[in-house]
Structure 1
Amino acid sequence: MKMKENSLFDSLLEEPQKPSGPVTCLGMTFENDEARRAHFTEELRKKMQDPEFRKIEGFPIGSDEDILNLSDPPYYTACPNPWIADFIADWEAQKPEQPDGYHYHREPFAADVSEGKQDPVCMAHTYHTKVPYRAIVRYILNYTSPGDVVLDCFAGTGMTGVAAQACSEPPSDLKRAIEDYWRETGREQPSWGTRHAIMVDLSPFATFLQRNFNSSLSSRTFQKCAERLLNETEKNLGWMYETDIPGGKSKGSFEYGLWSDVVFCECGEEVLLWNPALDEGSQGFNAEMKCPKCGREIKKTASGRAHTTYWDDELKTSIKQNRQDLVLIQARVGNKTFSKHPSKFDRELMSRINSLKPTSFSPSAPMMFNGERWGDMFRAGIHFGITHVHHFWTKRNLIALSELFAAAQKSSYPHEMAFLCTSFAVKTGSRMHNVGFKGGKINLAGQTYNTLQFPSVSAERNIFVLAKGKVKDISNVFELKKQPGRTISSTQSGTNLQHIPSGSVDYIFIDPPFGDNIIYSELSFLYEAWLKVFTKQDYEAIISGKQSKGLNEYKDLMTRSFGELFRVLKPGRWITIAFHNSKNAVWNVIQESLGIAGFVIADVRILDKGQGTYKQMTTAGAVKQDLVISAYRPNGGLEDRFELEAGTEDGVWDFIRTHLGQLPVFVSKDSQVEVIAERQNYLLFDRMVAFHVQRGVAVPLSASDFYSGLDQRFSLRDGMYFLPDQAAMYDKKRMTVKEVLQLQLFVIDESSAIQWLKQQLIRKPQSFQDLHPLFLKETAGWSKSEVPLELLTLLEQNFLRYDGKGPVPEQIHAYLSTNWKELRNLPKDDPTLVTKARDRWYVPDPNKAGDLEKLREKALLKEFEEYKEVKKKLKVFRLEAVRAGFKKAWQERDYAVIVAVADKIPNNVLEEDPKLLMWYDQAVTRMGGE
Structure 2
Amino acid sequence: MNDIAEFIKKYGKPYDPETDHYDVGPFKKNIDDAQKSTGGIYGMHMYWVKQVPQVVKQHIEHYTRPGDIVLDAFAGTGMTGVAAMLAGRHAILGEISPACIHIAKNYTTPIDPHLLKGSWWKLREKVEPEIRPLCKTRCHNCGNTDAEIANIILSDVLRCPRCNAEVLYAGDGRWEQMKRGEKFKKIRCPNCKAEFTKAQADFVRVEPIEIRVDCKACKVKGEAKAKSLDEEDWELYISIEGGPTKVIHEGEDEWSEYKFEPVERFLDDLGTKVYQKMLQHWSVDYIPPKEVPYWYPKDVKFPKGYNTRQPLKRGITYSYQMFSHRNLIALSILWHYIKGIEDEKLRDKMRFAFTGMLFYVSLMRRWVYSNVAGVPLKGTLFIASVIQDVNTLEIFDFKINQVLRGLRELLTFKGNGSVFLQKLSATNLNFENNTIDYAFYDPPYGANINYSELNIVWEAWLNEFTMVKDEIIENKYQGKNRNIYGQMMLAALREVYRVLKPGRWLTMIYSYSDPSMYRIIQNIAHEAGFADEGGLLHINSASKTFAQETSDKSQQRFLVINFKKPKGGRKKVVEKSEDIEYDVIQVTHEFLKKYPGRTRDQIYDEVIKRLFSSVQIEKFDLDEILKNFFRKVGNEWFAPGTLIERRKGDQKQGALWEEPIPEHPEKEVILRLQDFLREYRIVPYSELREFYLRKLKIAIDRDFDDLVSENFIIDKGKVRLPTVEEQLRMQDITVHYTKRILAQFLDGRLNRAPTGPEICEWIHFCYKHELYREGLQLFGVLDESSIPSDAYKRAKKIAEVCRIKKK
Question: Which TM-score bucket, shorter chain as reference?
Answer: 0.5 to 0.7
- Specify which of 587, 605, 614 is matched with residue 536 of structure 2: 605
What is the TM-score when the length of structure 2 is the normalising length? 0.61
Do structure 1's residue 147 and structure 2's residue 67 form an aligned pair? yes
Whole-angstrom CA distance in 2 between matches of 1:793 and 1:458: 67
Q: Using the TM superposition, give the Cα deviation of residue 224 of structure 1 relative to its aligned residue in structure 2, in angstroms.
A: 2.9
* Compared CA separation, residues 443 and 552, structure 1 to 2 (3 A): same
Structure 1, unmatched stretches of 5+, are 1-25, 27-73, 75-82, 168-193, 307-322, 611-620, 648-668, 671-676, 688-765, 802-837, 840-858, 860-930
* Compared CA separation, residues 302 and 105, structure 1 to 2 (3 A): same
Do structure 1's residue 432 and structure 2's residue 364 form an aligned pair? yes
Q: Structure 2 matches for 1:739-750, cutoff 5 A?
A: none
Q: Structure 2 matches for 1:377-776, cutoff 5 A?
A: 377-379=307-309, 383-411=313-341, 412=343, 413-426=346-359, 428-438=360-370, 443-479=372-408, 480=410, 481-483=412-414, 486-498=418-430, 500-608=431-539, 625-635=557-567, 638-639=568-569, 774-776=733-735
Whole-angstrom CA distance in 2 between matches of 1:295 and 1:279: 18
Indicate the SS of the match to 1:163. helix
Q: Using the TM superposition, give the Cα deviation of residue 84 of structure 1 relative to its aligned residue in structure 2, in angstroms.
A: 1.1
Contact 2:308–2:453, Cα closer than 8 Å, also in 1: no
* Compared CA separation, residues 150 and 682, structure 1 to 2 (3 A): closer
Whole-angstrom CA distance in 1 between matches of 2:327 and 2:610: 62
Whole-angstrom CA distance in 1 between matches of 2:450 and 2:113: 33
- Specify which of 229, 232, 237 is matched with residue 345 of structure 1: 232
* Compared CA separation, residues 608 and 294, structure 1 to 2 (3 A): same
Q: Using the TM superposition, give the Cα deviation of residue 204 of structure 1 relative to its aligned residue in structure 2, in angstroms.
A: 0.9
Partner of 2:187: 289
Seq. identity, %? 26
Amino acid at match of 2:170: W
Do structure 1's residue 114 and structure 2's residue 32 form an aligned pair? yes
Q: Structure 2 matches for 1:773-922, cutoff 5 A?
A: 774-778=733-737, 787=751
* Compared CA separation, residues 90 and 608, structure 1 to 2 (3 A): closer
* Compared CA separation, residues 797 and 163, structure 1 to 2 (3 A): farther
Could you list the per-position Cα deviations for residues 178-222 of structure 1 after superposition, in whole angstroms to 9, with x for gaps in the alignment?
Answer: xxxxxxxxxxxxxxxx10011111111111111111122123333
Partner of 1:273: 169
Whole-angstrom CA distance in 1 between matches of 2:760 and 2:403: 65
Contact 1:274–1:457, Cα closer than 8 Å, also in 2: yes
Do structure 1's residue 123 and structure 2's residue 43 form an aligned pair? yes
Amino acid at match of 2:215: V
Contact 1:259–1:324, Cα closer than 8 Å, also in 2: yes
Do structure 1's residue 263 and structure 2's residue 158 form an aligned pair? yes
Indicate the SS of the match to 2:449. coil
Whole-angstrom CA distance in 2 between matches of 1:414 and 1:556: 40
Q: Structure 2 matches for 1:300-319, cutoff 5 A?
A: 300-306=198-204
Q: Structure 2 matches for 1:151-170, cutoff 5 A?
A: 151-167=71-87
Whole-angstrom CA distance in 2 between matches of 1:131 and 1:792: 53
Partner of 1:311: none
Amino acid at match of 2:135: Y
Partner of 1:327: 209
Whole-angstrom CA distance in 1 between matches of 2:757 and 2:299: 65
Contact 2:539–2:560, Cα closer than 8 Å, also in 1: no
* Compared CA separation, residues 358 and 501, structure 1 to 2 (3 A): farther
Do structure 1's residue 254 and structure 2's residue 149 form an aligned pair? yes
Q: Using the TM superposition, give the Cα deviation of residue 239 of structure 1 relative to its aligned residue in structure 2, in angstroms.
A: 0.9
Contact 1:258–1:459, Cα closer than 8 Å, also in 2: yes
Amino acid at match of 2:159: F
Structure 2, unmatched stretches of 5+, are 242-288, 542-552, 574-593, 596-605, 617-724, 770-785, 787-807
Partner of 1:31: none
Q: Using the TM superposition, give the Cα deviation of residue 290 of structure 1 relative to its aligned residue in structure 2, in angstroms.
A: 3.1
Whole-angstrom CA distance in 2 between matches of 1:533 and 1:797: 67
Whole-angstrom CA distance in 2 between matches of 1:123 and 1:779: 52
Amino acid at match of 2:226: S
Partner of 1:909: none
Contact 2:28–2:537, Cα closer than 8 Å, also in 1: no
Partner of 1:904: none
* Compared CA separation, residues 781 and 626, structure 1 to 2 (3 A): farther
Whole-angstrom CA distance in 1 between matches of 2:172 and 2:130: 32
Amino acid at match of 1:505: I
Could you list the per-position Cα deviations for residues 634-690 of structure 1 after superposition, in whole angstroms to 9, with x for gaps in the alignment?
Answer: 21xx24xx79xx99xxxxxxxxxxxxxxxxxxxxx99xxxxxx99x99998879xxx
Q: Using the TM superposition, give the Cα deviation of residue 402 of structure 1 relative to its aligned residue in structure 2, in angstroms.
A: 1.6
- Cα RMSD for the two superposed structures: 4.1
Contact 1:214–1:482, Cα closer than 8 Å, also in 2: no
Could you list the per-position Cα deviations for residues 334-368 of structure 1 after superposition, in whole angstroms to 9, with x for gaps in the alignment?
Answer: 15232222222223223333443333321123433
Q: Using the TM superposition, give the Cα deviation of residue 418 of structure 1 relative to its aligned residue in structure 2, in angstroms.
A: 0.5
* Compared CA separation, residues 253 and 379, structure 1 to 2 (3 A): same
Whole-angstrom CA distance in 2 between matches of 1:123 and 1:386: 29
* Compared CA separation, residues 90 and 774, structure 1 to 2 (3 A): closer
Q: Using the TM superposition, give the Cα deviation of residue 447 of structure 1 relative to its aligned residue in structure 2, in angstroms.
A: 1.4
Contact 1:505–1:568, Cα closer than 8 Å, also in 2: yes
Partner of 1:894: none
Whole-angstrom CA distance in 1 between matches of 2:419 and 2:555: 33
Whole-angstrom CA distance in 1 between matches of 2:158 and 2:739: 47
- Specify which of 280, 290, 306 is matched with residue 356 of structure 1: 290
Partner of 1:220: 114
* Compared CA separation, residues 131 and 148, structure 1 to 2 (3 A): same
